[in-house]
Copies of this chain bind each other. A is one copy, B any other.
């Protein structure tokens, strides 16, 4: 990457642990490719120190923004001065723009990154009937962005049914014209099937949905990046479904993050 000088704009990713993050590589490659004098560095901050850290970052005048990941996404949303509609609905933030005077604006780009990743693979969610497993932070962000992208219907399945219902109550307020319902593990009748749970990350996890009901013609998309081929994706491929790995969601987010932080 380019030389860092006193003029270099600073960005950070805040996480704990931080060893595993890939954002420094991804963002710095983007800065380099676009000839932007900026650098993103990892900062490992425990949850107990997050509020102090945010206070201090408001006073770092050459800090342009912060990428936020586990375990801070929810806590940091409450420390921002403004949230985008997606971040407000999800109640979580994965990117912050630092505006002059130290004002912090938070957004969550998981959902838009997911949709942009689909489009990169030639999959247009507009008009599709979508099925979503999960009702946590990532699922909320993806549901919001699928609605924003114009899916015709959205079914949400979650182990804790109440969480799925709560999520749809909020989502219907923003998108009253889309048909939304809480569903079962059976994804039959949907074009786009999305796993937005963490099931599949650990060996021996159960499937997030009933893979025996998958059918050719369906697209099955993952948000899990490691393993690249989750048991769900293996089963979907075996059933003749089109599959979408988790990685493009992250790749698409890199540009969205840089743009939101004002670096591009």
Q: Which residues of A does B touch, CB under 8 Å?
A: 1, 3-8, 10, 13, 15-22, 24-25, 28, 39-46, 48-49, 52-53, 55-63
Tell me if B21 and A6 are in contact (CB < 8 A). yes
5 shortest A-B CB distances, which residue pairs? A49-B59, A56-B56, A6-B21, A44-B61, A44-B62
Which residue of chain B has its CB nearest to the CB of A55?
A: B52
Tell me if A6 and B22 are in contact (CB < 8 A). yes
Tell me if B42 and A19 are in contact (CB < 8 A). no
Tell me if A60 and B44 are in contact (CB < 8 A). yes
- Quote the shortest CB–CB distance from A145 to chain B (angstroms): 26
Residues of B within 8 A of A63 (CB): 43
Tell me if B16 and A61 are in contact (CB < 8 A). yes
Residues of B within 8 A of A10 (CB): 41-43
Contacts known (A10-B41, A56-B52); A62 close to B18, Cβ less than 8 A:
yes
Contacts known (A52-B52, A52-B59, A55-B56); A42 close to B6, Cβ less than 8 A:
yes
Contacts known (A5-B24, A39-B41); A57 close to B56, Cβ less than 8 A:
yes
- Quote the shortest CB–CB distance from A43 to chain B (angstroms): 5
Tell me if B53 and A8 are in contact (CB < 8 A). no
Residues of B within 8 A of A15 (CB): 6
Contacts known (A1-B4, A57-B56); A41 close to B41, Cβ less than 8 A:
yes
- Quote the shortest CB–CB distance from A58 to chain B (angstroms): 8
Contacts known (A41-B39, A45-B60, A53-B60); A3 close to B28, Cβ less than 8 A:
yes
Tell me if B25 and A43 are in contact (CB < 8 A). no
Task: Known A-B contacts: A10-B42, A39-B39. Give 20 more (CB < 8 A).
Answer: A3-B28, A4-B42, A5-B25, A6-B15, A6-B17, A6-B19, A6-B24, A7-B19, A8-B24, A8-B42, A39-B41, A41-B41, A43-B60, A43-B62, A44-B61, A45-B61, A46-B59, A52-B55, A53-B60, A56-B57
A59 to B41, CA, bound (A): 16
Residues of B within 8 A of A20 (CB): 6
Residues of B within 8 A of A3 (CB): 1, 24-25, 28
Residues of B within 8 A of A48 (CB): 59
Which residue of chain B has its CB nearest to the CB of A2?
A: B1
- Quote the shortest CB–CB distance from A11 to chain B (angstroms): 10
Tell me if A18 and B6 are in contact (CB < 8 A). yes
Contacts known (A52-B52, A52-B55, A55-B52); A4 close to B60, Cβ less than 8 A:
no
A48 to B101, CA, bound (A): 13
- Most B-side CB within 10 Å, residue of A15, A45, A60: A60
